[in-house]
């Protein structure tokens, strides 16, 4: 028995693969294996010898089976190594999916770059501000409709010397804040979030605006027209048309609304199905307001209207980007629906 035990132990130790070890298992532990036959032979021994010899044979069997299992565990571990499983380490791996900047971020960076070329410096101002900067300093009286809670998000917070706290409904709160710095001339561009109670194909409750402010001596409407025309051609392309429409804003005088020819319908007012364009309805899309800074706003910023003049404009970033050549985004809410199918196109 000891000779057979040494033979089996040697065969187990010399096995170099799982398949070879399986052959050892069949040869010695199978139904007709050498060790199995010895175990069966114990039954044929005299009754007085069976217990002692059976104990020796069973003990040897248990020890050999334990060695067999240990050797199998070792060989299975080695089987996953490069010695057993060939791997081409020069083959390119699988790259994880890459994200990219959102369309609005692209728009903000492009807008900033265009105005930087004109000498405008980007500034940042609070997006939760006092009523004074959002309304009062902009020549809006207490009963102005824009200050109604159905139009504007007022904060549930204590009032201060400058009134209530409000989620900025526009970036125009930056105008007087910039004047208070006392550095002139002012060529400022402010891009920030705005909040209003509106939601449709051209409005979302949270959106971005870019506010331009130019204050110096002898600033005229001609300067305003030139700046806006330059931006429109640089951003939308040389073939797009813009127009100024007389309007009324409390913080500018005279005031205008700026329109651009619709990029969705090509300025025709109808879509490819010959139906009314759902974005512009008439071939033009309003981008925002502009005008000469009202004397009362200059006074609120500590300036003498007899010495200084200026212009201001505020456009929606998302709405402006909707008119980008070739995009044809016909619903501003698409930008914030987090639909990967849409976002991955850009």
**And the tokens for 73?**
């565990």
Q: What is the pLDDT of residue 202?
A: 77
82 band by pLDDT with thresholds 50, 70 and 90 = very low
| 208 membership: H or E segment, kind and range | strand 206-216
Residue range 24-30: mean pLDDT, rounded:
80
Question: Is the per-residue pLDDT at 62 higher than 60?
Answer: yes
Question: Is the per-residue pLDDT at 81 higher than 80?
Answer: no
Q: Which of 313, 104, 310, 115 is nearest to 230 (CA)?
A: 115
Look up the pTM and report it: 0.66
Q: What is the pLDDT of residue 149?
A: 62
Q: What is the pLDDT of residue 218?
A: 92
Q: What is the pLDDT of residue 182?
A: 93
Do residues 122 and 64 both lie within one domain?
A: no
The residue among 262 and 43 whose pLDDT is bigger is 262
Lowest model confidence (mean pLDDT) among 87-101, 131-145, 224-238, 281-295: 87-101
Q: What is the pLDDT of residue 100?
A: 83
Residue range 17-41: mean pLDDT, rounded:
79
Do residues 248 and 115 both lie within one domain?
A: yes
Question: Mean of the per-residue pLDDT values for the chain?
Answer: 85
Residue 95 lies in a domain: no
Do residues 149 and 202 both lie within one domain?
A: yes
Q: What is the pLDDT of residue 299?
A: 96
Q: 95: how many CB neighbours lie within 10 A of its CB?
A: 6
| 318 membership: H or E segment, kind and range | helix 317-322
Residue 93 lies in a domain: no
User: Percent of the chain scored above 70 by pLDDT?
Assistant: 95
Residue range 299-325: mean pLDDT, rounded:
90
Do residues 68 and 139 both lie within one domain?
A: no
Do residues 337 and 276 both lie within one domain?
A: yes
The residue among 337 and 151 whose pLDDT is bigger is 337
85 band by pLDDT with thresholds 50, 70 and 90 = low
Do residues 55 and 123 both lie within one domain?
A: no
Residue 101 lies in a domain: no
35 band by pLDDT with thresholds 50, 70 and 90 = confident
Residue 84 lies in a domain: no
User: What Å distances lie between residue 296 and 216, 241, 305, CA to CA?
Assistant: 16, 33, 8
Residue 55 lies in a domain: yes
Do residues 275 and 334 both lie within one domain?
A: yes
- HSE, side-chain direction, 13 A CA sphere, residue 15: 28
Do residues 175 and 38 both lie within one domain?
A: no
Number of domains making up the chain: 2
Q: What is the pLDDT of residue 281?
A: 76
Residue 187 lies in a domain: yes
Question: Is the per-residue pLDDT at 1 higher than 70?
Answer: no
Beta bridge partners of 122: 189
CATH of the domain at 218: 3.30.930.10
Residue 62 lies in a domain: yes
**And the tokens for 316?**
């929606």
The residue among 240 and 187 whose pLDDT is bigger is 187
Do residues 62 and 130 both lie within one domain?
A: no
Last residue of a domain, one of 78, 93, 119: 78
Q: Which residue has the tokens 């125009």?
A: 172
Question: Is the per-residue pLDDT at 83 higher than 70?
Answer: no
Name, in order, each residue with C-beta under 8 angstroms of 235's C-beta and a sequence gap of 6 or more: 110, 111, 114, 320, 324
Q: List the domain range (segments joined by +) for residue 72.
A: 2-78
Residue range 239-263: mean pLDDT, rounded:
88
Do residues 201 and 327 both lie within one domain?
A: yes
Do residues 74 and 115 both lie within one domain?
A: no
Q: Which of 233, 243, 207, 223 is nearest to 333 (CA)?
A: 207
Q: What is the pLDDT of residues 139-188, one digit of tens each?
A: 988 777 766 666 788 888 888 889 899 999 999 999 999 999 999 999 99
Last residue of a domain, one of 78, 97, 124: 78
User: Burial code of 305-315, b = ≥16 C-beta within 10 A, e = fewer?
Assistant: eeebbbbbbbb
Do residues 119 and 64 both lie within one domain?
A: no
Residue 328 lies in a domain: yes
Question: Is the per-residue pLDDT at 343 higher than 90?
Answer: no
Last residue of a domain, one of 55, 78, 101: 78
């Amino acid at each position: 028995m000891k000779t057979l035990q040494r033979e089996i132990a040697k065969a187990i130790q010399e096995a170099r693969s799982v398949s070879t070890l399986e052959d050892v298992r069949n040869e010695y532990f199978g139904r007709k294996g050498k060790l199995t036959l010895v175990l069966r032979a114990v039954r044929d021994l005299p009754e007085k010898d069976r217990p002692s010899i059976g104990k020796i044979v069973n003990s040897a069997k248990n020890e050999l089976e334990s060695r067999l299992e240990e050797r199998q565990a070792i060989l299975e571990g080695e089987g996953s190594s490069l010695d057993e499983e060939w791997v081409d380490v020069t083959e390119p791996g699988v790259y994880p999916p890459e994200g990219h900047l959102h369309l609005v971020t692209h728009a903000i960076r492009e807008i900033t770059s265009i105005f930087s070329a004109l000498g405008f410096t980007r500034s940042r101002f609070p997006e939760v501000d006092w009523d004074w900067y959002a309304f009062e300093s902009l020549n809006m009286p207490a009963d102005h409709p824009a200050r109604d809670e159905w139009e504007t998000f007022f904060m549930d917070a204590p009032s201060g010397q400058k009134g209530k706290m409000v989620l900025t409904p526009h970036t125009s709160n930056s105008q007087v804040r910039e004047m208070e710095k006392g550095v002139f001339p002012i060529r400022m561009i402010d891009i920030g979030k705005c909040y209003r109670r509106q939601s449709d194909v051209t409005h979302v409750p949270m959106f971005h605006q870019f506010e331009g402010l130019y204050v110096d001596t002898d600033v005229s409407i001609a300067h305003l027209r030139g700046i806006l025309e330059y931006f429109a051609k640089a951003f939308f392309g040389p073939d797009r048309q813009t127009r100024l429409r007389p309007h009324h804003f409390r913080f500018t005088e005279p005031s205008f609304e700026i329109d651009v020819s619709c990029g969705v319908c090509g300025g025709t007012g109808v879509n490819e199905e010959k139906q009314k364009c759902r974005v512009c309805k008439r071939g033009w899309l309003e981008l925002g307001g502009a005008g000469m800074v009202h004397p009362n706003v200059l006074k609120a910023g500590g300036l003498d209207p007899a010495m200084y003049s200026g212009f201001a404009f505020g456009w929606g970033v998302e709405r402006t980007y909707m008119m980008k050549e070739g995009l044809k985004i016909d619903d501003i809410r698409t930008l914030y629906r987090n639909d990967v199918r849409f976002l991955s196109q850009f």
